[in-house]
Structures are given as structure tokens and as C-alpha cells.
Structure 1
Amino acid sequence: MIPPYNHSVSSFRSILFCLQRSINKGILAKISLPPKSQTSFLCSLVGYTEQGHQLNAHELLDEILIPDYKSCNKMIKSYTTDYQYLEALSVFRWMQKARLRPDSFALAAAVKSSGTMHDARLGGMLHAFAVKGGFSTFLAVEKALMDMYARFDMLSDSRQVFREMSWRDSVSWNVLLSGYARAQLYGDAMDLFHAMHGYGDEEVKPTAVTMAVILPICAKLKSLKAGQSVHAYVIKMGLDLDTLVGNALVSMYAKCGSIINDAYRAFCHIAWKDVISWNSMIAGYCDNGFFGEAFELFCRMILSGLQPNYATVANILPICASVEDGWHYGRELHCYALRCGLEVELTVCNALLTHYSKVGDMKAVESVFGKMHSRDLVTWNTVIAGYALNGWISRAINLFHELLSNEIKPDSITLISVLPVYAQANDLQAGKKIHGYILRHPLLCQETSTGNALISLYGKCGELDNAVKTFKGIPERDIISWNAMLSAYADTEQLEKFMDMLNQMNVEGIQPDPVTILSVLQVSAFHGIKKVREAHAYSLRAGFTIQMTVGNAILDAYAKCGSIDDAFGMFRSLTGKNVVTGNTMISGYLKHGCQEFAEMIFGQMCERDLTTWNLMIQVYAQNDCIDRAFGLFHELQHKGMKPDNVGIMSIVAACARLASVHLVRQCHGYIIRASLGDSYLEGALLDSYAKCGSINDACKLFQTSYQKDLVTYTAMLGGYAMHGMAQESLGVFSQMLVLDIKPDHVIITSLLSACSHAGLVDEGWKLFKSISKIHGIKPTMEHYACMVDLLARRGCFREAYNFIKDMPCEANGNLWGTLLGACKTYGEVEVGRLVADHLFDVDTGNIGNYVVMSNIFAADGRWNGVEQVRRLMKAKDLKKPAGCSWIEVERMRHAFVAGDLSHPLRPIIYSTLRTLDRQIKDPLSPRK
């Protein structure tokens, strides 16, 4: 006897509903009550059920109903057909209590219900009941038992039932075959299929259901040959027109990578295409990267009059970002989902999140995410990855913390999405915590992808020892593991270790891929043009240069090595070019000052992005074509593009070269209106205000800055130093140290320069001695130059000369030039002559040094020395460039070049200058 099965309120309601529905069918005639009393019976049963008195209701039902095994058998089968498995088992239990014998089909239905509910204990009892009651030889019961054990992952028991069957039909084979497929025992499934095919019984042949089971197994095994063999059998048996088989063939070919020919032919051959047919083909196109074809097929599906379902929308939404006007199509699909009520489907919502993340509409992502009634781990992973993809680092981290606070366990996909975020934020401690979490979960430790993400994190944070340990701890390293380690060495310029890793990779037989070549090219640029050419040659032999990323990297490597001609040769040889190719060439010409060639590339580009315009603005600004830079900046805006931080920094630098505080203020206003700004842009503004002479504007900007960092302090300190405000510079430096911001060599240089111009010898010496002792910075040539200038301004020329001679490294031309300029200022001829001897050897082609020495001799009346210097200049064919200066008056720039008399206001200007000169010489003279 089966033990009592717990009844629920819903089960009694279902029984009651069945009784009420069957009044006209005579079922209530079996109740041992007069017709007038049947109504009161039903009301009592309803009352017990609604009040939760299941026991009383059950007793009432047991007392009133006269046993009728046919009605009960019919109810069990009906409940099982309607997926009401709990109710089916409840009726079966009632039959046992009433000592009614079920038929074989009712018992099979009960067995199926227990299998679907994953109640192994009940299933074993049902099997025992079947054996005891003589039902175990009935085919329907045997098939139900096989299916039940397969659902319990008890395949040995399922096989035992199969072996003991006296006769097997096709369904029996299919049940065991489905069990193997569900347990991922693909080899056993293929063996069983071959046994079924060779069984020899005409009544046991593979059916459409068999094909629908075995074809996905071929896809899982990636065995195209096996799938084609099955397809041949399908054609032979005339099953190729069957919709179920056709859908399975389309899916198999798509997953095996044969999408264009085989999958499409199978799709076209389906006689009656249902929505699954279209979904299978669309999904196949999407999985194989044929996004345009997938979208075109989707449009054909709409035109055919077939209504897309949630699976169609979930398949097509993620690829909308890859087609033209994809953002618009994604919006239309979103509207369709809302009209059809598909927005409640979790897969559709996840697809919407993926689409909006890819098109960069994170506001829409947040809107969809906020309205979702249910979320799974895929939902959280998609939004975190979307934030990371679009640079919303802080929100990605916050959402990850929210996921953890909801006690949702992250999986490997979560971790490989969030680890790059922590790497970008340079948050090593948080990354180590995630590493600890991975180590506490053995399944995550086995994931190669998580290990690869950890290597990348440690590499970007400079923790190479941890990166190596993680690399060695990965159980099964793939090419991505090696590439991550190579990239870590390349980014930290560990060139020897990079080469050792590359050799080890070669020894272990790991073939490089295009990503490997990108790291090799990055390192080759440090070794020189020879290594770049070797990497280029290998890429050609391996066929990697057809990929745009590799071709662009080769261009960049040649440009970094100074071989712009080789870069241009590579540029011309590329069969495919994109916007990155053109940007790379313009960047190379920018570095080498080749304005005309940069303009040529810019003019040839069919497609330009914001980076293209920013680079060209930098080209013009760098080559003193300020008007062209501004013209390009305005043209960019007329085309509907919004300048970003990089573009604004370039134009602010151009404003500084013009010394136009008015233009700097305009840029500042645009930055505020456009909500742009970071520490680098703020630093550029501070520097430009200072260079334009408006130190007050720079000071106001600095004081209103909310987040001051090293860049901001460097700009403000340099501005004060530029204006000779040494005490203010030292004050800013003290504030920076209080905030525990570590100084760099640029700030030290600015401070020493400020001390030099203000004559603060003691403060300068104190700062110079603290460079290495306190701040851990190795003194640079600029630092030595500042100290030389500081000593020379106090008239200590011999000490400055000895200071240079005692330096641990050899002085360069700038350092000797600093001392020579000081000698000119203070008329120190003898030390100047010694300095000039060194300077003419170190910096032979700088005419300024010769002019300075000539002026020193002239000031002291040593005309022989002047003549000697001029002979040297003539022998080396050195010519002094014309002096130039400019000034902005009422937003108009006026330039003056030595010897140029073309200015329209020249008579008035020179007249005013003569008046000013006379007044300076004779302060008591009358003023006009």
C-alpha cells in the first residue's frame, strides 16, 4: 500500500471542480445521496476546503463517494495530461485507500507524475507496486518506469528495465535515448542509436522523435560528419519534410558551423515552417556571426505573416547593435514586446539589456532593469558587463556589491565581467578579495576564464608575481592564458621575461594567434625597427595581416620606431582599411610633425570618428596652424559632433599658444555647459590661464575644484612658478603633502624653478636634498639645471660650474646653456668661456649658444672673442632666426617680427614707443 500523500487546498479544489464539471456526465449519480442533497454535499465540501480543513473534506469525500475505478483511472490520466501531477498522485493514493485497482495506463500516468516531480522515494514504491501487482510487464508501465529512472539520473535502473522488456517498440528506444541525452552521455546515446538502427525489427525503426534527439547530440559533439550521416538516413526514410526533424537539422548544422549551405538548405526544405523553424535559423545566423543575414531572415519572417514569439525577440535583439540603424530597430522590437506582453519574459528582458548595453544606452538599461519583476544571474551579469563596456566603472562595482548583498552567488561570467572593472579602477585589494572567493569555490578554480581574468588584473596592477602564480595554477591553460601573461609583461616593459614566456609557449607547441602578435608588436617597438620587421614578416607568413587589428598594430609599431615610410608602405598594402587605420597613420604623422601627409590621410578617409578630428586638431595646433585648428574645431561641431575631453584639451592648448585668455574662458564655459571635465582637463585649463597671464582665474578654478589630484596640483604649482610666486608655490606644495599626494619630478622641477626666480637659495637647496632622501625620486637633468640657475642668480658662478662638474652623470646642452645664460645676464666672462667650450662640443647646432657667448664678449668689450664666435657660426652655416612676439588687444591678435614693417599701425606704435623710451630715460620730461 502506498503511504498517504499530503493533499493541498488546490488539489481539493481541482477534485471539486472536476465533480462540478461532471454533473451532466452522470458522475455525481455515483454519490449515495438523493439529488436534492447533492447541493448541500458540494457546499459542505467547498466550506471545508475554503477554511483549510483538508482532513474533514477528505473524510467527507471518502464517505460519500462509492468506489468507481474507471472514473478514478480516467481522472489520473486526465490530471497527468494536464500537467497536474500532484492531483494525479492524490487520486491514486485515494484509490489505494479505497482498495481500487488501477489499470496499467493509470499506473503509468502515476509513475510519470512521480518522475516529473523528482520524487525518487515515491517512484521506487510505485515500481514495487507494479511488480507486486503484475503490471511490470505492461509496455506503458515499462516505458514510464524507464523515463522516471532517467529523470532521477538512475540510468542503470532505466537500462535494467529496458533489458528486461519482452518487446520493445520505437518509443522504448527513444525513452532511453532521451535519458542518455539528458545525462550528457553522448557516446552511449550514439551507440544506442546504432543498435536501434541495426535491430532488424521492421516495427522498431528510428522515428522523427529519434532524429530530434540524436541530431542535437551530433551538434553537442561538433561532429558534422555524424550529423550528415543522420541527415542521409532522414532523407532515405522520407523524414526530411517533417517539421520536427527539419528544425533539428537546421540547429545541428548551425551549431557545427555549416550555416550558409547546409543549414539554409535544410531550412528551405521544411514543408511547413513553424516559429521554431525560423527561430532555429535566425539563432544559427546569430551564433555564427552572420548578423545581417539573421536580421534579413527576421524581416522575411514578419512578411510571411508568422508572429514572432519571445524566443525570436530574444535572438534578434542582441544583434540589432551590429546592423545599420540597429538602435532604431531595437526600439521597435522593444515596443513590439510591450504590445504583445512579452516584457514579462525573462529572456526578452535580458536580451533588451544586452541590446541597450551594446548601443551604449545605459539609461534604457537601468529603466528595463528597474522594471523587471524577476531577475536571474544572467540579468545581473548583463547589466554589470554593460556598465563595464561603457566605462561606468563605479556603477558596475556598486551593482556587483548589490548582487552580493542579495545573497546571489556570482558565477564565472560575473567574475570575468567585474575583474576588468577593478583592473581599470586599479583596485588591487578588491581584486584579491575576488581571488580569495574563487579559491574557496573549487568549481570556479577549474574555470580557465576566471584564471585568465585574474592574470589580466594582476598584470594591469603591476603585480607580476601574483600573475605568474595564477598562470601556473590554471589547470588547463588556453591561448588566452598565454596572451594574458604576455600582455602583462608587455605592459610593464618586462622585455626579457616576455621573450622567455614566448619561447616557453613555442616549446609547448602553443601556436600564436593574432592577439599574441599584438603583444609581440608592442614589445618589438621597444627593441627597434629590426624586431618590428621580423614580427611583420611572421604575421605575413601566418596570414594575420588580413586582420585589421594586426595591420593597424604594425602601422603603429613602425610609427613608434620612427619609420614613418615603412608605416605608409604598410598602409598602402592593406586591402581593408577602417577608421582606426587612418587614425593610426595620422597619429604617426603627428608624432613626426608631418602635417602635409596627415592632411592627405585625413582627406582620403571616407569615415571619420571623433578621434580623427581630435588628432587633426592636434596636428594643426602642434604645427602653429592655430587658425586651422580652430576652423576644424568649428567644422566638427557643425557636423553635429560634440567635442570630448581630448578635443577640448587640444583646443585649450592652442588658446594658450595664442596667449588668448578670452578663448580659454570660452573653452571653460563650454566644459561647464557640456558637463565635461576630469583632472587632466582641469589641469590643462589651469596651465592655459597661467600661460595667458591670468593667474587669478587659475587660482579661482583651483580653489573651486572638488577633487584635487597630482595633475591639478602640478598645474597650479607650475602656474605660480611661471609668475614668480615662489611662496605661493611652496604653500600649494605643503597642501599636497598634507593630503598624502606623492610628488613627481615635474612638480619638483616647477618648485626649484620658482625658488630660483625668487632667489630662495636655502629653500631650493633644502628641496633638492629632499628629492631622493624623502620623496624617493632620482634627480633629473632638469633638477640640476634649476640648481645651477639658482646658484648663478646669486652670483655663485664658480660654485655652479663645479656643481655641474661634480654631477654623477654627464651634463647635457640645456644644463650648460642655463649656466651660460646666467653668465650673460651678470657679465661673467671667464666662467662663460669655460661653459661655452663644453657647450659647443655638446650642442653644436644650437645657434642661440653662439649668440649668447658673442653678447658676453661684446658686453665686456672683447671684440676679438666676438669675431672668433662669428667665424665659428659662419663655418657651421648657422643663421639667427628672426625674433617674433605677439599681443592680443580687444580680442585681436597683433604679431611683430624683427625687420617686418608691414603692420598698418606701425607709425603710431613706433611713435608711442619713442615717447615711452624718452620718458623712461628722462622721467622729468613733459608727458603728452
Structure 2
Amino acid sequence: MIVSTTSQTFTKPLQLTPSKNKNPNNRFESVPAISLLQLCKNANELAQIHSLLIKTSLIQTPIAFNLLLSSYASSGDPGALDRARNLFDRADFAPSSFLYNTLIKAYTNHGYPIQAFIFYTQMLCQSSVLPDRFTFTFVLAACSRLCDRFLGKQVHAQMVKRKDFYGVHSRNALMGFYVKVGEVGMAAKRVFDEIEEPDIVSWNCLLDGYVRGGEVGAARKVFDEMPERDVVSWTTMLVGYVDAGMLSEGWDLFGRMPERNVLSWSAMIRGFVSAGRSREALGVFKDMEVSGVEMDKVTMTSLLSACAGLGALDQGRWIHSYIDKHEIDVDAHLSAALIDMYCKCGWLDVGLTIFRESLDKKVFVWNAILGGLALHSRGKEAVGLFLEMLDSGTKPNEITFICVLSACSHSGLVDEGLEIFQSMEADHNVRPTLEHYGCMVDLLGRAGLLNDARRLVETMPMEVDGNVLRALLGACRIHGDIELGVQVGKALIELEPLNDANYVLLSNIYALANRWEDVGNLRRIMKARGARKRPGCSSIELNGAVHEFIAGDCSHPQSEEIYKLIDEMAEHLLWA
């Protein structure tokens, strides 16, 4: 018989009798067949030792039986858990709480929490075995996976009856369950208050509960009261600030962290990206590089979004190279982020290549490439890809239709857009939203069908918003429909009196008709209402650095040379 391990191969007959020199209280310590169980790396090796234990009758000893069952239960090989259960069912002696706990934990970890709880109920029906201090921890983990309040509270009731059988670890698991089901302020806090000496896990669990519930004030109070904090404590509080949009407070906390892990960096980067502050996100990334922290998929996804927002192609390509160099598995989320980055940075063909090579084309991956095609006004390709998506069996969602309708709008595909819009609810059970109606108004308006666009606005089944009216007003400006443009512009200003873009659009309509007096009156109204025109802003990436320019701004270190070059260009254009 041959049993292979990572370090050696055993070909000699195994010694099956304990050595006299070993500890008499651990008489199986020197039996290779038992000690090798802890070295097994796969189901094949386990099966070999299992056979040997049967042949030598060691399988009838509790220590060998327990170790073998535990090895099967903790193995990640398919079918190993079934072997563990079959072994349990054929036991020649009454199973202990250790064996029940092992299988309850294994079923939960393998994604079968219902089976874990059923096994726990079978345990309760046995008069010869009782739950121990580990049982409730594993059972509550199953209840948390199920997110089942009723089952979890049943376990809590059983814990109350057996106060001597559980300690702080079980209470922490109970707190974790209540946090998972959203009962923090009452249930989880009450359990926490019952712990005589809460450990760092207890405090972190309570802190996490308040953060998950969006109670940032209560979370900060817990954070300040903690007798000690670890990196989990700091990161959890940071996530609370980021998720609440409190980036100033989050940035201050981030700066005071004694230790940062990849989750801390990712949270700060994600916060800046979500707030549209891509420049700050890339700045945090550069600091992260200097600190030597390796990026994970979440961090890379956020960074790619930041690169897409700024058009920072060089940095986006560097991240892509990092993924390839470290052989990181490109899942659906990372594929979508790469596609979006390349499309928004002008490299649509690279985005298409990544899409075609993606093995897991979830709906948001299709949406990413459809949005890229729309951005580049390649409507016919977008419609063709949409039909390919339907043929693949992928169900479109609301964003899918926004991308396709936008592509049709930018390419003048009126008939195709109308057909897709009408099929949304009828064929795909997706009810059109304001964004979809906005796309259709833009589609009809760009094609010059202003009356049809107006009728669509008037017959919408929901209240019109500024985006829909701006789409119609923009179409009026393009096609010179002054009368309709003035009507829509006035309605838009009444709806959003502080949005400077509305005044600019209506002013352009007046200017087209040479109604300069109305232009002047509009500017006075705008000034009286405090609606200030935001200066134009543009950015460019050069040698990996993103430079941002605002109209009339001189803060750039090379602004003098830039303005001088602009004047020279203008002079050449004047005499060209």
C-alpha cells in the first residue's frame, strides 16, 4: 500500500502498535495510520487511510473514527461530506457532541445550512448527547446563513435554558445572528449587555451591527467606548462613514488608523469613487502602492471605475497588467470594470475583446459593453449584441434597456429603439422608468420628431423630471423649434429654479431667435435666484498623471505656458 503526502511516500508496512516510549495517555500518537490523517490533502489519500483503518480494526476506536470523520467533513473534495455522513450513520458506538458539531459546522461551511439545522434537531432528540459550548456557535452560524429569525430565536431560547453550556463565543455568535437579521438596537445590544467580560469580537460585532443598520452615531459611540481596538474595529467604523457619504470624517479616521489592511484602503477608494471624486481615489491608490499592500479584486474594481471617470487610460492599463502579472482570476465584476474603463477611455475594441474572452457573462457584463457601444455611437452593433444576449438566455434588466435605447438614440435608429421600448414590459417584464422615457424623448428629439417627443412627455405614466425636459429642450435647440423650446425651457426653470444648465439652454434658444432682451432678462432672473453658472472643466492624462483644467483657472503650475500656447494657436487659426 502507498500513501502519498506532500513531503514523503510511505512504502513500508505501517507500525500499528504504539511505542512504549510514548505518552501512555495518548497511546495512538505513534500509529502512522492515525497521525497521517492530519496530513491528507485530498479524498484519494483519505480513502486509502480509511481502508487501512478498517483492515486493522482501528476504525472501531473513537479517536481514529473521530479523526477520520473530521477529515472527511473538512475536506473540500466533492462527495467527502457525504462520506462523512455515511460514516456517522454506521458508527458502532453512540456519537459524541464532537461528531455532531463537526457535521453541523461542515454542512454550514459547504453551503447547506438547512441540513446543518436538521442535524442539530436530530442531536436534540438523542438522550445520550447534549449540546456543548461549541454547538450553539456552529448552529447560529447556520441560522445566520439562512437569515431565519424564527430558527435563530429558537436556538436563543435553548441557550437560555442551558446557561452553563455556553460562554462568550456562543454569545458572540448569537450577536452575529441578530446583526445579520437586522435586530441590533434591541436584541444584539441586549445580548452584549449580558456578557460579563466582552472581548474584542463582542465589541466589533456590536459596532458592525450599527454600521450595517446605518446608525453611524451609535456606531461612533461604541467605537469611542471600546477598551481596545484592532484593525477590524477601525475598518468597520471607516466603512460606516464611507457608506453614509461622510467622506471628511472617514478621511480623518483613515489618517489616524494605526494599522491599515486591504479592506481599509478599498473602503476609502470606494468612497471617493462613489462620490465622483476619482482624482482623490487614485491619490489613495498611489499611497497604497507605496505602503506595499497588495490589491484585491474589490480594490481593483473601484480603481478601474476611477480610471474610467477620469479617462486615465495609462493607470487603467497598469491595473490590467497587474491583474495579468499576478494571474488574478478575472470574474464577472472585474470583467465589467475593465470593459467600462477601456470603453470610456476610447479603446472600445479592447473592451470588445475582453467581453468576448469573458467566461462568465452575467447581465452587468453585457450592460458594460452595451454602454460602451452607446458611448461610441455604434448603435447597430449594440442592437445586434442585444439580440445575441437574448439568444444566450441572459435576461435583460433596466440598465440593459437604458444602454440599448441610448445607443439607438446616438445612432438615429428610431424604428429599432421604438421596437425595443415596446418590448420591454410585453416580452421581458421590465417596466419602463423615467430614465427609459428620457432615452425615448432624446431618440425622437434627435431625429427631429419633436411633436412625437412632446406627446410622449405628455402621456408619461409618471411625473416628468428635469432630465426628460432637458432632452426635449436640447432637441428643440438642435432643430430650431423656438416656440416649443421656450415652453419647455420655462417649465424646466420652474421645476428646477437653481439648476444653471436650464438657464443656459433656454438662453441659447432665445439667442437662436435673436431675442437678446429675453437673454438679458433671463440672466438677471438667474442672478436674483442665486443660480450661478458652473465653470467648464476638462481633464487630460499625460505620463500617468491626470491634469484638470477649469475655465479661467490659473492654479496649474504650467498655466502661463499653457495660456501662451493657446494664444499662439488662436492667432494661427485667425490667419489660416
**Smaller-chain TM-score bracket:** 0.7 to 0.9
Q: 1:751 aligns with which of 404, 409, 413?
A: 404
Which residue in the other structure is 2:453 paired with? 800
Which residue in the other structure is 1:349 paired with? 36
Verify: 1:446 aligned to 2:115, yes or no. Answer: no
Which residue in the other structure is 2:10 paired with? none
C-alpha separation between the residues in 1 aligned to 2:153 and 2:71? 40
Q: Where do 1:882-921 residues align within 5 Å?
A: 882-889=535-542, 891=544, 893-901=546-554, 902-916=559-573, 918=574
Which residue in the other structure is 1:397 paired with? 78
Root mean square deviation, CA, Å? 4.4
Verify: 1:698 aligned to 2:385, yes or no. Answer: no
Change (3 A) 1:893 1:380: same
Q: Where do 1:508-907 residues align within 5 Å?
A: 515=173, 517-518=175-176, 520-521=178-179, 524=182, 533=185, 538=190, 541-543=193-195, 546=198, 548=200, 551-552=203-204, 554-556=206-208, 558-559=210-211, 563-622=215-274, 629-630=281-282, 632-637=284-289, 639-676=291-328, 677-889=330-542, 891=544, 893-901=546-554, 902-907=559-564
1:716 is paired with a residue whose SS is helix
Structure 2 unaligned segments of length 5 or more: list them. 1-16, 54-63, 92-98, 126-134, 162-169
C-alpha separation between the residues in 1 aligned to 2:398 and 2:310? 28
Which residue in the other structure is 1:417 paired with? 106
2:561 is paired with a residue whose SS is coil
Which residue in the other structure is 1:41 paired with? none
Post-superposition CA distance 1:241-285 (Å, at most 9, x none): xxxxxxxxxxxxxxxxxxxxxxxxxxxxxxxxx9467x7xxxxxx
| Contact in 2 for aligned 1:717/1:732 (Cα 8 Å) | yes
1:774 is paired with a residue whose SS is helix
* TM superposition shift of 1:844: 4.3
C-alpha separation between the residues in 2 aligned to 1:367 and 1:641? 38
Post-superposition CA distance 1:426-474 (Å, at most 9, x none): xxxxx9xx79xx99xxx9972469xxxxxxxxxxxxxxxxxxxxxxxxx
C-alpha separation between the residues in 2 aligned to 1:505 and 1:407? 24
Change (3 A) 1:604 1:550: same
Normalising by the residue count of structure 1, what TM-score does the alignment of the two structures yield?
Answer: 0.48
Change (3 A) 1:829 1:577: farther
2:110 is paired with a residue whose SS is helix
2:428 is paired with a residue whose SS is coil
* TM superposition shift of 1:724: 0.8
Letter in 1 for 2:417: G
Q: Which moved more, 1:410-419 or 1:682-691?
A: 410-419
C-alpha separation between the residues in 1 aligned to 2:254 and 2:44? 40
Change (3 A) 1:714 1:397: farther
C-alpha separation between the residues in 1 aligned to 2:378 and 2:154? 57
Letter in 1 for 2:306: A
1:895 is paired with a residue whose SS is strand
Change (3 A) 1:534 1:820: farther
C-alpha separation between the residues in 2 aligned to 1:561 and 1:681? 28
* TM superposition shift of 1:694: 0.6
| Contact in 1 for aligned 2:105/2:138 (Cα 8 Å) | no
* TM superposition shift of 1:479: 9.8
Letter in 2 for 1:446: Q
Post-superposition CA distance 1:621-675 (Å, at most 9, x none): 4566656644544554555542111121122222223312222222111111211
C-alpha separation between the residues in 1 aligned to 2:46 and 2:309? 48
C-alpha separation between the residues in 1 aligned to 2:543 and 2:137? 63
1:603 is paired with a residue whose SS is helix
Letter in 1 for 2:452: E
* TM superposition shift of 1:506: 9.9
Q: Where do 1:215-226 residues align within 5 Å?
A: none
| Contact in 1 for aligned 2:104/2:138 (Cα 8 Å) | no
| Contact in 2 for aligned 1:559/1:567 (Cα 8 Å) | yes
Change (3 A) 1:547 1:696: same
| Contact in 1 for aligned 2:143/2:152 (Cα 8 Å) | no
| Contact in 2 for aligned 1:798/1:831 (Cα 8 Å) | no
Change (3 A) 1:552 1:860: farther
| Contact in 2 for aligned 1:621/1:650 (Cα 8 Å) | yes
Change (3 A) 1:538 1:866: farther
C-alpha separation between the residues in 1 aligned to 2:525 and 2:111? 60
Letter in 2 for 1:397: P
* TM superposition shift of 1:767: 0.9
* TM superposition shift of 1:557: 5.3
Change (3 A) 1:889 1:847: same
| Contact in 2 for aligned 1:352/1:368 (Cα 8 Å) | no
2:395 is paired with a residue whose SS is coil
* TM superposition shift of 1:399: 4.5
| Contact in 2 for aligned 1:656/1:688 (Cα 8 Å) | yes
Which residue in the other structure is 2:9 paired with? none
Structure 1 unaligned segments of length 5 or more: list them. 1-82, 84-273, 280-308, 312-341, 354-363, 388-394, 425-430, 450-476, 491-497, 525-530, 920-924
| Contact in 1 for aligned 2:69/2:87 (Cα 8 Å) | no
Letter in 1 for 2:327: S
2:538 is paired with a residue whose SS is strand
Flag the structure with larger Rg: 1
Change (3 A) 1:566 1:856: farther
Q: Which moved more, 1:398-407 or 1:754-763?
A: 398-407
Higher RCO structure (Cα 8 Å, ≥6 apart): 2
Letter in 2 for 1:766: E
C-alpha separation between the residues in 1 aligned to 2:325 and 2:44? 26
* TM superposition shift of 1:748: 1.4
* TM superposition shift of 1:806: 2.1
C-alpha separation between the residues in 2 aligned to 1:866 and 1:776? 46
Change (3 A) 1:604 1:833: same
| Contact in 1 for aligned 2:171/2:195 (Cα 8 Å) | no
